[in-house]
Chain A
Amino acid sequence: MRGSSFRRIAIGVVVIAVIIAVIYGSSAPAPGEGFFGRLWPILNEFALWTAVQLGLIYGFVALGVYLSFRVLDFPDLTVDGSFPLGAAVTAALIVAGVNPWLALLASIAAGGVAGLITAVLSVRFRILHLLASILTMYALFSINIRVMGSSNLSLARQETILTPISALDLGLTAAQTRVVVIGLLLVLTAAALAWLLTSSFGLALRAAGANPRMARAQGISTSRSTYFGMALSNGLVALGGSLFAQTQLFADVTVGSGTIVIGLASVIIGESLLRSRSIWITLAGCVLGSVIYRLVYQWALTKDEICLGFCLEFRPSDLNLIAATIIALALILPRLGAGRGFR
């Protein structure tokens, strides 16, 4: 099909080049330092573990966004609301004394319902998918405040899923424990998702997104596929939100803003690094993309200027611009390639 190898190479080169250029250009040019020397000492150990931990949490978001954007071909902005929904439900339940694992499951269910609402608005009532998801996301802002009773909730000194594990005294720092626990959960989730997507049922889900007309002719109900896929996608994102609350020890209605961009960036970075037809590798790519995005983000937070030949004052708030630019470039470049070769 249209220049798929060109597309792969183009995205990969751009993403990697941007990351390297920004890192290289902005690290202080110390005399006598080699090329790699300038690249490496970018994060201290604390920042590194924080970044990996957030990267893994947002790995769930990346899996969810992969499911909606890539598998179902459904651009879903609900995630900006279902991520804080997951955090809010978990925080509220834990504060109310509910077992943190139950709170986690409840968050997944809540996210699933949110996704289902978007899917019903879009499939059953024919509202444009993007608009349907924006409506749900918008409404979730109010819901999340209702759930928490206020716009934020602290989990300081509350029991979380990490409390009993930290008590085991495995010789790990708190940050490392979090990375191990979240990493394990993420690996299990990704494996379950990969298994699902390679089953007969999952193949039908992929067909419903890729070629709905063909899917219906093969007896697949595309509306039911969308309901299920959207519920699962937002359940995954809410799971990420729940883990966010349990590791960062707070929930806030504003933590969801930009979730979709982070998820999409992770998926795109992952695709450019590990492009494969294998679902297993693709899902691993999503997770890897999320961690890389977070590493770059964390590193950028430590910078106060970006030098690419000339120097610009840099603020953390500029990250939105950078992330949006990278995503836009990654989406534009393959089209340019396709336009040249065909038609």
Chain B
Amino acid sequence: MIRVSGLEVTFGRGTPLEKRALQGIDITLEKGEFVCVIGSNGAGKSTLLSAIAGDVLPTAGRIEIDGIDVSRWPTAKRARLVSRVFQDPLAGSCADLTIEENLALAASRGQRRTLRHAITHGRHEAFRARVAELCLGLENRLKDRMGLLSGGQRQAVSLVMASLAPSSVLLLDEHTAALDPGMAAFVIGVTNQVVVESRLTTLMVTHSMSQALQVGSRTVMLHEGKVLLDVRGEERSRLTVEDLVARFQNVRGGKAIDDDALLMG
């Protein structure tokens, strides 16, 4: 469960470059809910995600995860509640460590890291089984460097990493944006599987309007740091990409979407 109330984030406060990235966000995600967040560049999608993850501390407002106020917690402390997959496939894992070592790092997320060997026999077998579920043949490459994998493979492994240790929230930051369409579809499939199996409350930022409507159970549109649209259920299933674009143009005073044609995808 995530409850965000009155969340404001201002970058460079008091300077000429002041940017009010989030201007009062109120949003509650029930346990197990899968929410897609969409918006144009600068709408505040990634800032919202970073604020929940702890990379950005709120200027005002409150963030609760599972009823715990985490507003002032640093990222590392929140990690026992929050797992994450980044947009850049290189960001979510260590290229110079092996697949197995990366999995071991993630398996200890939010737990005490002891002086016991990181990769025990039991862990090795468990990792093999989990990675085999991806059907990418990676279970035989656990001792390969992570850097040898393709972007899509790394994102798939990152999703496995995100689900190894217990957490209640999964944050996905445009995690398919850097992938080709085929691989993106595959990674979305893995995402759905992980979310359902681990019953995670999920917040996915996406650039693709069609993805925002097809994936998950609820769609939230941000604009200039505020929630513009929040639909779920039947209302959501009736929405088309064209409707979204129309709503979008509405708030812009009828101006066409000029900044990113990507939204149409």
Contacts and interface: CB of A to CB of B under 8 A. Distances in A.
A207 B108 contact: no
Interface stretch (B58-66, B111-119, B240-248): B111-119
Interface string A258-301: 00000000000000000001000000000000000000000000
Interface stretch (A117-125, A161-169, A183-191, A209-217): A209-217
Contacts of B128: none
B92 A214 contact: yes
Interface string B21-46: 00000000000000000000000000
A225 to B, nearest CB: 10
A210 B96 contact: yes
A201 B106 contact: no
A210 B147 CA distance: 12
Interface string A187-210: 000000001101111111011001
Contacts of B75: 216-217
B113 A217 contact: no
Interface stretch (B97-105, B181-189, B254-262): B97-105
Contacts of B55: 213, 216
B76 A199 contact: no
Interface residues of A, number: 25
A222 interface: yes
A338 interface: no
Contacts of B83: 217
A220 B76 contact: yes
Main secondary structure of the interface of A (DSSP, over half): helix
Nearest to A219: B79
15 contacts: A196-B115, A199-B118, A200-B104, A201-B114, A202-B118, A203-B118, A210-B95, A211-B91, A214-B92, A215-B76, A216-B75, A216-B76, A217-B75, A219-B77, A221-B76
A55 to B, nearest CB: 27
A198 B118 CA distance: 6
Contacts of A201: 113-115
Given A221-B76, A277-B98, A199 B117 contact: yes
A213 B86 CA distance: 10
A195 B117 CA distance: 8
B91 A199 contact: no
A221 B55 CA distance: 13
Contact of B113 (A204, A222, A277): A204
B84 interface: yes
B91 A218 contact: no
Contacts of A218: 79, 105-106, 108-109
A199 B93 contact: no
User: Top 4 A-B pairs ranked by shortest CB distance?
Assistant: A219-B79, A216-B75, A200-B113, A203-B118
B156 interface: no
Contacts of A203: 97, 101, 104-105, 113, 118
Interface of A: 1, 195-196, 198-204, 206-207, 210-211, 213-222, 277
B232 interface: no
A343 B68 CA distance: 47
Which of A195, A206, A216, A217 has most B Cβ within 10 Å?
A217
B97 A207 contact: yes
Contact of A199 (B84, B96, B106, B114): B114
B216 interface: no
B113 A216 contact: no
A103 to B, nearest CB: 27
Interface string B116-143: 1111000000000000000000000000
Contact of A214 (B94, B98, B116, B117): B94
B80 interface: yes
Contacts of B97: 203, 206-207, 210
A202 B96 CA distance: 14
Nearest to B144: A277
B85 to A, nearest CB: 9
A277 B95 CA distance: 12
A217 B86 CA distance: 10
Given A207-B105, A211-B91, A214-B92, A200 B114 contact: yes
Residue of B53, B80, B84, B94 most packed against chain A (CB within 10 A):
B94
Nearest to A222: B76
Contact of A217 (B92, B104, B116, B118): B92
A202 B79 CA distance: 18
A196 B113 CA distance: 11
A188 B4 CA distance: 52
Nearest to A202: B118
B110 interface: yes
B94 A213 contact: no
Contacts of A217: 53, 75, 79, 82-84, 86, 92
Contacts of A214: 86, 91-94
A222 B109 CA distance: 14
Contacts of B86: 213-214, 217
B145 interface: yes
A47 B77 CA distance: 55
